[in-house]
Amino acid sequence: MIEFIADKYNFWIAIVLMMIGFYAIIAKHNLVKKVIGLNIFQTSVFLFYISISKVNGGTAPIIWHPEGHAEVVYDNPLPHVLILTAIVVSVSVTAVALGIIVKLYKNYGSIEDDEIKLIEHNEPELDSK
Partner 1 sequence: MIDFFTTHAPVLTIVVFIFGALLAPVFGRINNSLSYYCALITTALSFVLSVYLLFSVYNNAPLEYLLGGWKPPYGIEYRVDILNSFILSVVSFVSFLSVIYGYGSIKSEIYEKRHPAFYSVYLLFIGGMMGILITNDIFNMYVFLEITSLAGYALIAMGRTRYSYMASFNYLILGSVGATFFLIGIGYLYMQTGTLNLTDLAQRLQGHFDTNVVLVAIAFIVVGLMLKMAVFPLHFWLPDAYTYSPSVISAAMAGTSTKVAAYLLIRLMYTIFGIQAGFSGINFSGIIIVIASITILAGSIIAISQTDLKKMLAFSSIGQIGYILIGTAMVNKYAFAGGLLHILNHAMMKTALFMVAGGFFYKFTSTKINDLKGMGRQMPFASAMFLILSLSMVGIPLTVGFISKWYIILGAAQSGYWIVVPVILLSSLLTAIYFGRVVHNLFFKDSEASNTGILHAKIPYSMVSSTAVLVFLCIFFGVFAYMPVEISLKAAENIIGAMPWK
Partner 2 sequence: MKDDVILRTITKFMLPFIQIFAFYTLAHGEISPGGGFQAGVIFGSSFILIALVFGKKEARSKMPRSVNDVLISTGDFIYAFTGLFCIFAGGFFLEYGELPFHSAKEGNHIGMIIIELGVAITVAAVMMTIFFEIAGKEDD
Select from partner 2, partner 1, none the partner in contact with residue 62, using the beta carbon and a kind-dependent cut-off of 5 to 8 Å. Answer: partner 2
Out of 91, 92, 109, 118, which residue is the one contacting partner 1 (CB under 8 A)?
92
User: Does the protein bind partner 2 through residue 98 (CB under 8 A)?
Assistant: yes
- By the 8 A CB rule, do 76 and 53 touch? yes
What lies within 8 Å, CB to CB, of 21 at 6+ separation is: 37, 38, 39, 40, 41, 42, 43, 44
38: closest CA among 23, 51, 52?
23
Compute the residue count for the chain: 129
When the beta carbons of 106 and 121 are compared against partner 2, the nearer one is: 106
Footprint (CB under 8 A) of partner 2, residues 2-61: none
User: Does the protein bind partner 1 through residue 104 (CB under 8 A)?
Assistant: yes
Q: Which stretch binds partner 2 (CB under 8 A): 6-14, 24-32, 33-41, 91-99?
A: 91-99
